Copies of this chain bind each other. A is one copy, B any other.
Amino acid sequence: MEIIKFKTEGLAQLSYLIIDKETAAVIDPRREAKIYYDKAKEQGASIKYIFETHRNEDFVTGSRELQRHCGAQILHGEGLDFEFGRFVKDNENFILDEICFQVLCTPGHTPESISLALYPTRESEQALAVFTGDSLFVNDVGRTDFFPDKRNEYAEMLYDSLHQKILPLGDEVVLYPAHGAGSVCGGKIADREISTLGFEKKHNPMLQLSKDEFIKQKANETHQKPPYFKEMEKINLKGSDTALINYQHTKNISREDLKKDFNKLQIIDVRSSEAFLGCHIPGSLSIPQGMLSAYAGYFISYDQPIVLVTDTEQEEEQAKAALVNLGYDNILGALAGGISAWEVSGESLASVRMLDVNHIQNEKSSSTLLDIRKPNEWDEGIIKNARTIFLGDLLKNLNEFSKDEHLITYCGSGKRATIAASLLQAHDFKNVSVFMGSMQAYQNKKAS
């Protein structure tokens, strides 16, 4: 028996392929699902079950796509109106060759959340591992804010699921959650992808609380909910139908075609932040490839066709994979010849002024410093006099600034600050700079 973990960078989403001799199961597949099929096949196994531990909000699940490849059964908990797959019951067993998955209904994150306890055989009384979905993470627990009117109720459900269903499996049970550090589905997930129920019971701060404390704390938590979550919820209940068919048919877009349809398109520049600062197509949006999973959902629409600006074939493929994973089937293609083709065309070009920490220390008085990090990051300190607006809220607050004001954006490193700068430039702010290195450079400079 082997457990293979797949990590989707950006989302920090974890999915699992469990192979038991000639049969296998997949838990929470991502949309590009052929990877599970291929891996199982390589090991000589057929996938029999696809479990969804909960209705995902942060990506399009690949259950349907995977089912097309291998014909496996899709299974999820009761409590939401899934239009595909079948529902499972509490304590229901699913057997591969020898190992047995037992369903635990663990509502709290969502009403139909399940966990899956893995036993060596059907007869074992001792679980070996548990797949907890978004109920229990390493060092944190799941969000309970998706039903704003019922925050207390859901927090209480989660508390009970954790303490009455999951932890009783035993200290020696290995934990396999659905997210790692960096996910928006949990703010304090630790950066070590290994734990046990015993370790969490002792060290996970959320498991040290009484029921009342737990409910109170969960009720007060604030989490980001990027606008695309709504789209994900819909797709994941209905089942993604068109699969990846469109994805395979993107084109190279010539600069002439780009110019012709310029206003109908979303031009997404997935090159590095530095390359965007150096030179970009006026009006384009900077989201470096590795940040698409986390930020595309805030700024990219599902309707208008998307054209990518990339440096390499590989970058383009990864960008498309990330977008498809978020349900974007409106990718038209990439600019043929990349940014170079645009540069030599004789069309206008734009850049963003780059400032380092020395500039900031000297010049900040005459400018507006804009801290676009998350609220919980502000808690650990901001630069004096900086204005704070979370990147995801920036577009709603543009009228707070004048178009000619010198705006200097910063974040942790400069990458999100560059996204912010691209948004500001696209909305006609003329005088935008990025503080490269941002908060880390600021603190390192102070420390030295």
Contacts and interface: CB of A to CB of B under 8 A. Distances in A.
A254 B313 CA distance: 29
A351 B271 CA distance: 17
A129 B194 contact: yes
Interface string A51-88: 00000000000000000111100000000000000000
B128 A339 contact: no
Interface stretch (A170-178, A228-236, A422-430): A170-178
B444 A346 contact: yes
A356 interface: yes
A249 interface: yes
A358 B354 contact: no
Nearest to A313: B42
A202 interface: yes
A270 interface: no
Contact of A354 (B41, B42, B345, B351): B351
Interface string A396-437: 000000000000000011110000000000000000000011
Q: Copies of this chain, how many?
A: 4
A368 interface: no
B194 A128 contact: yes
A436 B279 contact: yes
A195 interface: yes
A336 interface: yes
7 tightest A-B CB contacts, nearest first: A172-B198, A277-B278, A278-B278, A346-B445, A346-B444, A344-B440, A274-B278
Interface of A: 1-3, 22, 41-42, 44-46, 68-71, 99, 120, 126, 128-129, 170-174, 190-199, 201-203, 248-249, 251-252, 254, 271-280, 311, 313-314, 336-337, 339-340, 343-349, 351-354, 356-358, 412-415, 436-438, 440-448
18 contacts: A3-B193, A69-B249, A70-B251, A171-B172, A172-B198, A173-B199, A174-B196, A271-B275, A272-B272, A272-B339, A275-B275, A276-B278, A344-B444, A345-B437, A346-B357, A346-B445, A346-B446, A348-B356
